Amino acid sequence: MTELRRALDAHAWDRSIGLWDAYFAVAWTATLAFVCAADHPGAPARTVAGGLLVALVPWYVILGRKLLQEDPPDERRALVYLGGAMALFLPSAILADGMRLVSFALIPQCFMTLRTRWALTAVTVINLVPLVGWALLRHPSGEDLFSSSLFASVTLVFSVVIGGWIIRIIEQSWERAELIAELEASRHEVSRLSAAHGALAERERLSREIHDTLAQGFTSLLMLVQAVEAELEHDVPQARRHLALMAETARQNLAEARALVAGGTPADLEGASLPDALRRLAARHDAEVEVTGPVRALPAGPEVVVLRSCQEALANARKHAGGSASLAIALTYADETLTLSVSDDGCGFDPSAPTGGYGLSGLRARAAGVGGTAEVRSAPGEGTIVTVRLPVLPVLGGAS
């Protein structure tokens, strides 16, 4: 409602009452001057007509101006105002035909304040009643009656045309005001939905980042703690190696947390190439790494997706395939694609079976976010292969 009110406040007539005042003043002054300078009718009739014309000024100032500024005007008050104005105008126009000039000031007000049916009725009365009254009172010659009738007819047609134009302008202004209000409301709704979508997207991004970094790191720490507990009594050197790996994992988790808060590059990729980052990651999971194709720097997006996908695949392999399973990482650079493959020889599973975890769905969402695909191939007892293919910029001057 507030937006509609603001739109309506921009209507042209809300800012142009001064122009209507000037128009009324010019029409009133011209009419009075014309009547005073005329030879007919006699002075008494012209005096009465002029007195009625003078009374029209305060009537307009007191009621008319305020009514014209209302949006929409109160129709009952409009009928009172125009009824009073015609009560002053019609007798003066019958007494002195020159008084009809002031009708050009009254006719637009009819269309601005009344509905179409009432406006047309009022305009017809303003144009025809003075002619009929004048003819009955003065008994003019045929030539004078014809010229006056022609003038009244032209004035009536002009009134209808200009009145229809005014009504169309008002209706269009209302329609545009409502449209502006609807557009403004739609803009606010789009802004609200955009903000909500952005918040949801950011929440999903943070969920993926936390799952692929901090959560996996804490899972590794928990597994290492369990291993150390089992090794303390019979294999102290191995327990110490696992303690060192715990410290390294904790430092890595801290670096990932700082990178996550700062929104920067993942810790493994900081100052390193993607193959080096995968080798560091593979060392923490006792996995083998094979890199094929021409290694080159790529945009941060695909490299981050490959690193996070590899983290997720390795964590799932250690969690479900068992600590004794062999892990292999293959990274292939092609002209227009970058392919990551993480495989294990563990117990495998049925990929079509429903799971309550976030990992595989998050992995597919990451790949789709940069226009790529993620595929999981596995079967019970046959191990698992996770393959991520991402589009990258082609090599300039590549192989023909």
Taking only the tens place, the pLDDT of each residue in 296-336 is 988 888 888 898 888 888 878 877 776 678 899 999 999 89
Q: Specify the amino acid at residue 114.
A: L
Confidence of residue 347 (pLDDT cuts 50, 70, 90): confident
pTM of the model: 0.45
Q: What percent of the chain shows pLDDT beyond 70?
A: 88
Q: State the pLDDT at residue 56.
A: 92
Distance CA 325, CA 242 (A): 18
Per-residue pLDDT of 23-64, as tens digits, reads 899 989 998 888 888 777 888 888 898 899 899 999 999 998
Q: State the pLDDT at residue 264.
A: 56
Lowest mean pLDDT, pick from 129-133, 183-187, 262-266: 262-266
Instruction: Say yes or no to pLDDT of 221 above 90.
Output: no
Q: State the pLDDT at residue 77.
A: 92
Instruction: Say yes or no to pLDDT of 142 above 80.
Output: yes
3-state secondary structure the chain: CHHHHHHHCCCHHHHCHHHHHHHHHHHHHHHHHHHHHCCCCCHHHHHHHHHHHHHHHHHHHHHHHHHHHCCCCCHHHHHHHHHHHHHHHHHHHHHCHHHHHHHHHHHHHHHHHCCHHHHHHHHHHHHHHHHHHHHHHHCCCHHHHHHHHHHHHHHHHHHHHHHHHHHHHHHHHHHHHHHHHHHHHHHHHHHHHHHHHHHHHHHHHHHHHHHHHHHHHHHHHHHHHHHHHHHCCCCHHHHHHHHHHHHHHHHHHHHHHHHHHHCCCCHHHCCCCHHHHHHHHHHHCCEEEEEECCCCCCCHHHHHHHHHHHHHHHHHHHHHHCCCCCEEEEEEECCCEEEEEEEECCCCCCCCCCCCCCHHHHHHHHHHHCCCEEEEEECCCCCEEEEEEEECCCCCCCCC
Instruction: Say yes or no to pLDDT of 355 above 80.
Output: no
Instruction: Say yes or no to pLDDT of 206 above 80.
Output: no
Confidence of residue 157 (pLDDT cuts 50, 70, 90): confident
Q: Is the dihedral of CA 154, 160, 166, 168 positive or negative?
A: negative
Q: What percent of the chain shows pLDDT beyond 90?
A: 19
Distance CA 205, CA 199 (A): 10
Higher local confidence (pLDDT), 49 or 214: 49
Average pLDDT score over residue span 121-147: 87
Q: State the pLDDT at residue 194.
A: 82
Average pLDDT score over residue span 88-116: 87
Cα separation values, 278 from 28, 225, 300, 323, Å: 92, 24, 15, 19
Higher local confidence (pLDDT), 345 or 245: 345
Distance CA 274, CA 295 (A): 9
Average pLDDT score over residue span 106-123: 87
Q: State the pLDDT at residue 252.
A: 74
Q: What integer best gives the mean pLDDT of the chain?
A: 82
Lowest mean pLDDT, pick from 143-147, 322-326, 354-358: 354-358
Higher local confidence (pLDDT), 25 or 152: 25
Q: State the pLDDT at residue 354.
A: 67
